[in-house]
Amino acid sequence: IAGITQAPTSQILAAGRRMTLRCTQDMRHNAMYWYRQDLGLGLRLIHYSNTAGTTGKGEVPDGYSVSRANTDDFPLTLASAVPSQTSVYFCATSPSRSETQYFGPGTRLLVL
Amino acid sequence: DQQVKQNSPSLSVQEGRISILNCDYTNSMFDYFLWYKKYPAEGPTFLISISSIKDKNEDGRFTVFLNKSAKHLSLHIVPSQPGDSAVYFCAARGGSQGNLIFGKGTKLSVKP
C-alpha cells in the first residue's frame, strides 16, 4: 500500500441499501477526513477524526456515520442510501489537524 | 453563504503565458490558505499554501499572493503548460483545529 487507498473505486447502489466506503492509509497520519464532491459545489466535509478513537461532524454529516478504531482505517457508512448521496467521495489524511491534507483517489457512488 | 468563492468556473490560457486563478473569502478569521489541483478521476493534489502572516509564497512556477485587506488570494502559474490543465480548488482554514473550507473550483485549460 502506498499512501491512501479507497474502496470500492465505484459503486451503483439501490436506494435504501447500506453501504460502507473504505479508506486505509499507511502514512501513520493522525487525522483523517471524508469529503464529498458534487458538481458546482466543490468539496464538503462530512466527518473527520483527529486521532484514533475520536470522530467529529463536518459540514454535511446527516445520513453518514464513521468510526476510527485504529490509526490506519476510517470507514464511512451510509445506513440507508438516498439518491442525494450520489457523489464522489474522497478520503483525506494529515499528520495532525493543523497540517496539509492529502487525498485518496476517490469513490464514485451512484444511488438509484 | 459561501465563505470561499472562486468566481470564475473556467479559464483558458495559451501555453507559455501566465495563468491567474482568483479566490475571495469572507471570514477574517481564516489564517491559512491552500491551493489544490485535481485531474479527472483522481483525488485533489496539494499544490501550494500560504499563511496569513505572509503575502507571497513561491514554489517553482507557482506563486500564491495573499491580500488580507481585500480578503483575496490568487495563484499565478508561469509559464503555463498543457499539463497544468486541471481543476484548481482554493481552500481556507480558520485556526489550527479548523476545518478546510473549499471553493467550488476553477477549470484551467492550457492550449498548446
Compute the average pLDDT of residues B67-75.
97
User: Which tens digits make up the pLDDT trace of B8-51?
Assistant: 999 999 999 999 999 999 999 999 999 999 999 999 999 999 99
pLDDT at B101 over 60: yes
- All residues of chain B having their beta carbon less than 8 Å from the beta carbon of residue A4 are 43
Who among A41, A100, A104 is closest to B34 (CB)?
A100
C-alpha–C-alpha distance, residues B31 and B97, integer Å: 11
Report how far apart, in Å, the C-alpha atoms of A3 and of each of A50, A57, A90, A103 are: 18, 24, 13, 9
User: Which tens digits make up the pLDDT trace of A5-32?
Assistant: 999 999 999 999 999 999 999 999 999 9
pLDDT at A42 over 60: yes
Q: Decide: helix, strand or coil at residue A24.
A: strand
Q: Classify residue B112 by its DSSP letter.
A: -
- All residues of chain A having their beta carbon less than 8 Å from the beta carbon of residue B44 are 43, 90, 103
> Residue A2: which pLDDT band, with cuts at 50, 70 and 90?
low
C-alpha–C-alpha distance, residues A10 and A33, integer Å: 19
Residue A44 CB contacts under 8 Å (≥ 6 apart), including other chains: A35, A36, A37, A38, A58, A59, A60, B102
User: Which tens digits make up the pLDDT trace of A60-107?
Assistant: 999 999 999 999 999 999 999 999 999 999 999 999 888 899 999 999
First-to-last CA distance in chain B?
A: 38
Chain B residues bordering chain A (beta-carbon distance below 8 Å): 34, 36, 41-46, 49, 89, 91, 96-97, 99-100, 102-105
At A97 the pLDDT is: 85
Chain A to chain B, count of Cβ pairs less than 8 Å apart? 43
pLDDT at A1 over 60: no
Report how far apart, in Å, the C-alpha atoms of B31 and of each of A31, B16, B52, B64, B100 are: 19, 32, 5, 14, 11
Report how far apart, in Å, the C-alpha atoms of B104 and of each of A43, B53, B87 are: 7, 25, 9
Determine the distance in angstroms separating the CA of A40 from the nearest CA of chain B, rounded to an integer: 6
Q: Decide: helix, strand or coil at residue A59.
A: coil
Residue B30 contacts residue B91 (beta carbons within 8 Å): no
- CB neighbour burial string for A34-52, b if at least 16 within 10 angstroms, e if fewer: bbbbeeeebbbbbbbbbee
At A99 the pLDDT is: 85
